[in-house]
Amino acid sequence: MGVTKKKRIRICMGMGCEGNSRELYHNLQKILKEHPEWELETVRCFGRCGRHPVISIDGEITHKLNLHQVLKRMGIEKQEK
């Protein structure tokens, strides 16, 4: 039986991104409990300061996305409650 590789999302928590990234991280943390194929991590800096929040979605570095945009790029539809 093969091991399934998890997809990874990384969020910058460096000084330039931290304020915008903190809420995004906590929201994703809650949502991804239902999506075990994704792994959520924080990093200190991607070196793209001023474009916060900087996020790596399965290896693709992107920036200035809100929660809905991140989920869309991840292929996850958020359920409204």
| Segment 15-46, tens digit of pLDDT | 888 778 999 999 999 999 999 999 999 999 99
Residue range of the domain that includes 28: 10-74
pTM of the model: 0.85
The token duo for 14 is 């460096």
Average pLDDT of span 43-55: 89
The token duo for 39 is 């792994």
Domain contains 81: no
Query: Is pLDDT at 52 greater than 90 in this prediction?
Result: no
Domain contains 55: yes
Look at residues 29, 36, 16, 27 and name the one whose alpha carbon lies nearest to residue 66. Answer: 27
Longest C-alpha distance within the chain, in Å?
44
Question: What pLDDT was estimated at residue 28?
Answer: 96
Distance CA 7, CA 20 (A): 23
Total of domains in the chain: 1
Give the SS3 label for residue 62: strand
Distance CA 54, CA 61 (A): 7
Residue with tokens 């693709």: 60
pLDDT band at residue 2 under the 50/70/90 scheme: low
